């Protein structure tokens, strides 16, 4: 109700004409210099007498001057904004990375504008992209890890450098590759080393880059160990899907371990197994991926592959801004996620695993 707080914020300053916000000319007048000198102070120009600078800064202070971003953007044609193209951004992983991107960008004096992919149709993607381009973004971070997105991106000339948080294997852009393949392989090898020979993979949706990488890691490990291959199940990342998949799986029971492509599905799986009277890890071992914060607190504590989402976001910004500024792009070292063994995986014999408590993260 009572929301109008003056027209213009701080508004009523006697020095400032009308209801307008103070401009550099107003500051200049007060400091008795030219507007250009004020501009120089703003931009840290070297040849300004300290005394003059002082006077200008004082004038800015008394006038409560704020530089006008639009005017600056207009003349420099730099928006100081980067775009983020994201999918499913309410989930822990992406959300964490996005937050880290925003923090890192702010630290570098940049703004972030996020467009969430409502649907992954070409129209939806073009639409989101259009929105970002209208914002005149200087760079783009892509966290929408469907292959399809990159097809659209490749087709639409976006004209700004972009970085993806998923390695597509393409060379038309920079990717901040977390080595998901190795992560998935290690997870699978862990199960193999526990004596499991019939392992099922509950994968992410087809077309998702991460799902594909984790699947490949799984297949590699199965191949290395010379095991027979169960056809992977394609899920949608959700715990609910994990539950339903687990219900189906517990009918057949021709396996002793499941590697789920993310923790949510793994948790849903365990729920279903419990419902079916199967003990995890006594009857069936389960391994997840991501290490979301609750993973170590569910029962049994989930063996999973830990990813540092914040670090990924940070690096993405660093990489992107390097490109934006035309600096040399340093070699991108891959981040290898690490396996965290907890209670949901045990030897195929059915013996109890060593108990991993909450302190394993310390």
Q: Which residues bind DNA (CB under 7 A)?
A: 20-21, 23-25, 32-37, 39-40, 42-43, 45-49, 51-52, 65-68, 71-72, 74-77
For DNA, which is the closer residue by CB, 77 or 228?
77
Distance (Å, whole) CA 181 – CA 167: 10
For DNA, which is the closer residue by CB, 29 or 190?
29
Residue 212, Cβ density class (10 Å: 0-12 exposed, 13-18 middle, ≥19 buried): buried
Residues 188-217 close enough to bind a copy of itself by CB under 8 A = none
**Choosing among DNA, a copy of itself, none, which partner's interface includes residue 33 (Cβ < 5 to 8 Å by kind)?**
DNA
CB of 161 to DNA, least distance (A): 20
CB of 281 to a copy of itself, least distance (A): 14
For a copy of itself, which is the closer residue by CB, 16 or 189?
16
For a copy of itself, which is the closer residue by CB, 131 or 306?
131
Taking CB under 8 A as the criterion, the residue among 70, 251, 252, 354 binding a copy of itself is: 70
**Choosing among a copy of itself, DNA, none, which partner's interface includes residue 158 (Cβ < 5 to 8 Å by kind)?**
a copy of itself
Taking CB under 8 A as the criterion, the residue among 36, 58, 118, 151 binding a copy of itself is: 118
For residues 337 and 180, is the Cβ–Cβ distance under 8 A? yes
x/- letters, 127..156, toward a copy of itself (CB under 8 A): -x--x-xxxx--------------------
Taking CB under 8 A as the criterion, the residue among 42, 48, 57, 99 binding a copy of itself is: 99
Distance (Å, whole) CA 126 – CA 173: 18
**Choosing among a copy of itself, DNA, none, which partner's interface includes residue 49 (Cβ < 5 to 8 Å by kind)?**
DNA
Neighbouring C-beta atoms of residue 297, cutoff 10 Å = 9
For a copy of itself, which is the closer residue by CB, 96 or 180?
96
């Amino acid at each position: 109700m009572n929301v109008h707080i003056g027209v213009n914020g701080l508004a009523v300053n006697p020095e400032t004409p009308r209801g307008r916000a103070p401009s550099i000319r107003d500051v200049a007048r007060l400091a008795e210099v030219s507007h250009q000198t004020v501009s120089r102070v703003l931009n840290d120009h070297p040849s300004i007498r300290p005394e003059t600078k002082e006077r200008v800064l004082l004038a800015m202070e008394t006038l409560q001057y704020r530089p006008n971003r639009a005017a600056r953007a207009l003349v420099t044609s730099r928006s100081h904004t980067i775009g983020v193209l994201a999918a499913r951004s309410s989930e822990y992983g992406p959300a964490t990375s996005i937050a880290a991107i925003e923090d890192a960008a702010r630290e570098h004096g940049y703004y972030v504008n996020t467009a969430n992919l409502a649907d992954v149709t070409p129209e939806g993607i073009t639409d989101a992209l259009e929105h970002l381009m209208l914002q005149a973004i200087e760079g783009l971070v892509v966290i929408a890890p469907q292959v399809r997105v990159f097809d659209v991106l490749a087709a639409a000339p976006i004209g700004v450098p972009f970085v993806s948080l998923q390695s597509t294997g393409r060379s038309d852009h920079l990717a901040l590759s977390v080595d998901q393949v190795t992560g998935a392989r290690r997870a699978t090898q862990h199960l193999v080393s526990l004596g499991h020979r019939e392992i099922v993979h509950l994968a992410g949706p087809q077309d998702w880059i991460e799902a594909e990488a984790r699947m490949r890691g799984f297949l590699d490990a199965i191949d290395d160990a010379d095991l027979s291959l169960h056809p992977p199940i394609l899920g949608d990342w959700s715990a609910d899907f994990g539950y339903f998949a687990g219900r189906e799986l517990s009918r057949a029971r021709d396996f002793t371990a499941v590697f789920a492509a993310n923790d949510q599905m793994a948790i849903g799986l365990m729920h279903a197994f419990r419902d079916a009277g199967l003990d995890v890890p006594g009857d069936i071992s389960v391994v997840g991926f991501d290490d979301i914060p609750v993973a170590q607190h569910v029962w049994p504590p989930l063996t999973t592959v830990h990813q540092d989402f914040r670090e990924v976001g940070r690096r993405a910004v660093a990489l992107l801004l390097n490109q934006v500024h035309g600096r040399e792009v340093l070699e991108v070292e891959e981040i290898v996620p690490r396996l965290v063994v907890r209670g949901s995986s045990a030897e195929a014999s059915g013996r109890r695993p060593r108990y991993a408590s909450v302190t394993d993260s310390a």
